[in-house]
Amino acid sequence: MRYLPKSPAEREQMLQAVGARSVDELFRSIPETFRLRAPLPLPGPLSEAEIIQYFQARAAENSRGFVSFLGAGVYSHLRSVVTDSLVQRGEFLTSYTPYQAEISQGTLTAIFEFQTLMCQLTAQEVANASMYDGSTALTEAALMANRITGKSRVLVARSVHPEYREVLRTYAKHTGIEVEEIAYQPSGELDRAALNQTRLSGAAALIVQSPNFFGVLEDVPALAEAAHASGALLVAGIAEPVSLGIVRPPAEADIVAIEGQAFGVPPSYGGPYVGVIATREKFVRQMPGRLAGQSADDQGRRGFVLTLATREQHIRREKATSNICTNEALYALVTTIHLCLLGKEGLREMALQNLSKARFALAELEKIPGVRRAFSGRFFNEFALEFPRSVKLINAALLREKIAGPFVLGRHYPELTKRGLVCVTETMPRAEIERFANALRRILETPL
Amino acid sequence: MNSKLTETEAPARPGEPAGMIRKAGRHVSQNEGLIFEKSAPGKRGMELPPLDVPACNPAAALGADFVRDGIEGFPEVSEIEVIRHFTRLSTWNYAIDLGMYPLGSCTMKYNPRVNEYVARLDGLATEHPQQSAGLSQGCLRIIHDLKECLLAITGMDAATLQPVAGAQGELAGLLMIRAYLESRGNPRKKVLIPDSAHGTNPASVVIAGYEVRNIRSNDRGQIDTDHLREFATEDVAALMVTNPSTLGVFEERIHEIAGILHERGALLYMDGANMNALAGIARPGDFGVDVMHLNLHKTFSTPHGGGGPGAGPVMVKKILEPFLPVPVVVRTDDGRFALDANRPRSIGRVRAYCGNFGVLLRALAYILAYGPGIRQATEDAVLNANYIRNGIEDAYDLPYKLPSMHEVVFSDSRQKRHGVNTMDIAKRLIDYGFHPYTTAFPLIVPGALMIEPTESESKEECDLFIAAMRSIAAEAESNPEIVKTAPHSTRVGRLDEVAAARKPILRWRPSDEDRRPETSAVGLSKGPRP
């Protein structure tokens, strides 16, 4: 087998050295009754060429050739080939968590840069080395707010990504955290009237997302003020962080939970992605996840180490701030390289292109009779539309045009039937936007 | 031993016996500052195609209050600078691709390159998790095929591939146990954990709403069944056991342990972190395990990537199937695949979408490469561990002497007499060209040296490792200082971790540039380390 570096003769020599007559003897501590005699019923072995064939066949069964207007938490953006070539260096790809700092300075330095970039983007003071993704980062932010305030109720906007809210509920259920949902208003923003002081008082946190699941920007400073007035923290989730290239950062939030996928990570059917928690310095000891910090050796040379580990499970066990161990380090590196390449100007330009293309697309789509925007709030690169018929029917027809159409909002919001989410990033050529609009017009002109 | 090796032998350093370091040679590494320190206004490393629609004015589109100015301190560098920066950084890392990485419990094995290739295929990397099942048949089949393979390997009945790390798998498994017991009237209060367990176990137990009760190992490092009988009371929901244990030893009475729990209505959870000792040899489903997780980034070779990503599928017996996280990949009558989210008894979601799909497909590529031959990998992993045990057993103290499986745990008690501890030995291994083993874990072995070579190491690499460990043991007696002050060959020496934690510097700030110590690794005032 090509991955195994031993010849039959070497195996024999090694067995002899350990004084075993056969390989079976090495497994003598497993009771006889539990030792398998027959080979496992597994497909293979396959050569490299056959493995590639298997996966190419699977790739052909997916959406190849379709143009997609899906966002809903996962965004398609331009990536440089440089990123992928750098992260495939074995020294990054095949190294472990950098506990042995002297021979892990590459990873540690990159993590320190990642933490810095995340702070710069969010206008927060500290950021961790990564969480699994946006859904778990937001959830961990809620648990963190609970630890900081000692209060057990969290208010979460219904306009937060529905799957993020589901994850929050799973984690909250047995940690004594009560989750209460806050409605949205016709603009698509959180309903401030529903957020009266009675509900806020005694709450650990108000949790919002901006842009929210409908693509609408929340008024973070005002929400922070309302939360703070009642002693609650404001947790701001960001699922489309390219918006931070042009949109005001959530500086007033106490904890920011990011999904970093939009920064150079391919959609890959849901993962791996990269979550992050950024917060104020005073809350750092309540943060989950690893942190890299600057230090020096005995000769004063700068170096980086994993630090404040007394928060973590391998030291604190059941008293740890989280059970997270493995994180998404390689994708934090992807994000870091991608952002270094884009740089200050590139990120702003990318954000502006998104802003412009989404507005162009909305204008084109709103020209179609019966199609109008569902919410009136400020938006970045994603917006909800109201259609004259069910989005499922429209999508079925769009499939014939090789278009993966709007995200069906009715899936998670029963009151939002005939509404769908459309996302347009800088990757979408104008011609495809126009083709989408034309196809939609034709579909809606055809009687049911 | 091998005359070719003398060419690359490391030069002796002051006080160091010549010719002992055979694996590592001298290597020039480039100095490099932080990316922010290379930034200058107007540089960029990526250009976008021109905008093909009218440009909008952000203040008009969003309102001036919602628009930000440029991001202060954000890097501005060219493409070649990015390439050099990260390439230089990469050379400061040790990696599996450079040599043995014997971290016990971490299973640092070869990460096949074809897995990286297929994960990037157009039609797989490009797929959106919210696209319809009709457009995702290939992805769903990959998840389904992997699930079938993992069920065959573990002998379990059903699985979720949604958890994205071992710790998340633990949580999902515990929540399923809780939901199951709740459905029978009483979720109970406690989860038992042996003192040799990974730290994630107790941390996950707390999130699942249970209390941790530690149980001790007996003098052979095995779960004390008498102690278990005493502790497995009516309010115990489960025992979380790592098998083989973190000592690398199979729990010989695992079936009896399962029996004790089942008798009292509790379940047996197995932490599958050490499945590399069992794949193809024995199936947890056969020896009484009710629920377990796997670490695909350990046993199934998906790269660790400097700390992640991973995946932590959870395998369960039939009784727990109704409680699996949603959605579940199902095969419909017409042979097509679908996502079933309509499962009222489910514990809910533990992560958005279907988990770390890109990790799942790499694991499937790994399993397909071996097929039933995965048994050979397990055999080689166990052979390597025993070969190393045999090679250094007379130089280091072996506190638990039961047969080793895929890893072996020594203690530093003999070297301690000379003032040398496990961390010193670990750091000295770096000079010999190896990544250290796992230090100071499991907690039941004071001063532990936890060594897991995996099947990816050749006899030659194992021999070099044995020679290095023996040489260090000799140094600990003859020249303990050289061990205590190791490593001597790296860009930086041991870093001050206490200072780093006392006054944490967790990000770069523009003003830091002025305060940079002149003797930093980027400066040359003291020159690179010898």
- Of residues B474 and B18, more confidence is placed in B474
Q: Say whether pLDDT at B519 is over 70.
A: no
Task: For residue B278, give how far its alpha carbon lies from the nearest alpha carbon of chain A (Å).
Answer: 9
Task: For residue A335, give how far its alpha carbon lies from the nearest alpha carbon of chain B (Å).
Answer: 13
* pTM > 0.90: yes or no: yes
What pLDDT, in 10s, does the model give residues A288-346?
999 999 999 999 999 999 999 989 988 889 989 999 999 999 999 999 999 999 999 99
Tell me what the mean pLDDT of segment A269-277 comes to: 98
Task: Identify which of A422, A409, A406, A402 has the alpha carbon closest to the alpha carbon of residue A360.
Answer: A422
pLDDT recorded at residue B2: 45
Tell me what the mean pLDDT of segment A271-288 comes to: 97
- Residue A61 contacts B where some CB pair is shorter than 8 Å: yes
Name A378's Cβ contacts closer than 8 Å, sequence gap at least 6. A216, A217, B61, B62, B63, B66
Q: Are A48 and B167 within 8 A, CB to CB?
A: no
Q: Are B128 and A76 within 8 A, CB to CB?
A: yes
Beta bridge pairs of residue A180: A155
- % of residues, chain A, pLDDT over 90: 96
Of B47, B500, B526, the CB nearest to A305: B500
Tell me what the mean pLDDT of segment B170-183 comes to: 98
What span, in angstroms and rounded, lies between the C-alpha atoms of B457 and A127? 37
What pLDDT, in 10s, does the model give residues B302-361?
999 999 999 999 999 999 999 999 999 999 999 999 999 999 999 999 999 999 999 999
- Give backbone dihedrals phi and psi of A112, rounded to 5 degrees, phi first: -60, -40
- % of residues, chain B, pLDDT over 90: 88
The residue among A56, A77, A325, A331 with the most chain B CBs within 10 A of its CB, best to mutate, is: A325
What pLDDT, in 10s, does the model give residues B157-169?
999 999 999 999 9
Chain pair A-B, CB pairs under 8 angstroms:
706
Domain map of chain A by residue range? 67-77+344-445, 81-338
Instruction: Collapse the DSSP code of B375 into the 3-class scheme (helix H, G, I; strand E, B; otherwise coil) and give the result.
Output: helix
Q: Are A349 and B48 within 8 A, CB to CB?
A: yes
Q: Which residue does chain B place closest to A40, by CA atoms?
A: B372
Instruction: Collapse the DSSP code of A235 into the 3-class scheme (helix H, G, I; strand E, B; otherwise coil) and give the result.
Output: strand
Q: Are A97 and B307 within 8 A, CB to CB?
A: yes
Give yes or no on whether A67-77+344-445 and A81-338 have one common fold.
no
pLDDT recorded at residue A199: 87
Of A11, A82, A296, the CB nearest to B496: A296
pLDDT recorded at residue B66: 97
Instruction: Identify the burial level of B382 via C-beta atoms within 10 angstroms of its C-beta, where 0-12 means exposed, 13-18 middle and 19 or more buried.
Output: buried
- Residue A44 contacts B where some CB pair is shorter than 8 Å: yes
Q: Which residue does chain A place closest to B461, by CA atoms?
A: A5
Q: Say whether pLDDT at A195 is over 90.
A: no
pLDDT recorded at residue A91: 98
What pLDDT, in 10s, does the model give residues B126-158?
999 999 999 999 999 999 999 999 999 999 999
Structural tokens at position B420: 């040398």
Task: For residue A147, give how far its alpha carbon lies from the nearest alpha carbon of chain B (Å).
Answer: 13
What single-letter amino acid sits at B79? E
Tell me what the mean pLDDT of segment B431-454 comes to: 96
Mean model confidence pLDDT for chain B:
93
Contact residues on chain B for A23, CB-CB shorter than 8 A: 379, 382-383
Gyration radius of chain A's alpha carbons: 25
Task: For residue A283, give how far its alpha carbon lies from the nearest alpha carbon of chain B (Å).
Answer: 13
What pLDDT, in 10s, does the model give residues A146-178?
999 999 999 999 999 999 999 999 999 999 999
pLDDT recorded at residue B358: 98
What pLDDT, in 10s, does the model give residues A86-95?
999 999 999 9
What pLDDT, in 10s, does the model give residues A115-142?
999 999 999 999 999 999 999 999 999 9
Tell me what the mean pLDDT of segment A226-248 comes to: 97
Fold of the domain spanning A81-338: Aspartate Aminotransferase; domain 2 (3.40.640)
pLDDT recorded at residue A425: 98
Q: According to CATH, what is the number of the domain A67-77+344-445? A: 3.90.1150.10
What span, in angstroms and rounded, lies between the C-alpha atoms of A42 and A238? 42
Please state the separation of Cα A4 from the chain's center in Å.
Answer: 36
Contact residues on chain B for A189, CB-CB shorter than 8 A: none
Reported as a pLDDT band with limits 50, 70 and 90, residue A386 is very high
pLDDT recorded at residue B513: 54
pLDDT recorded at residue B138: 98
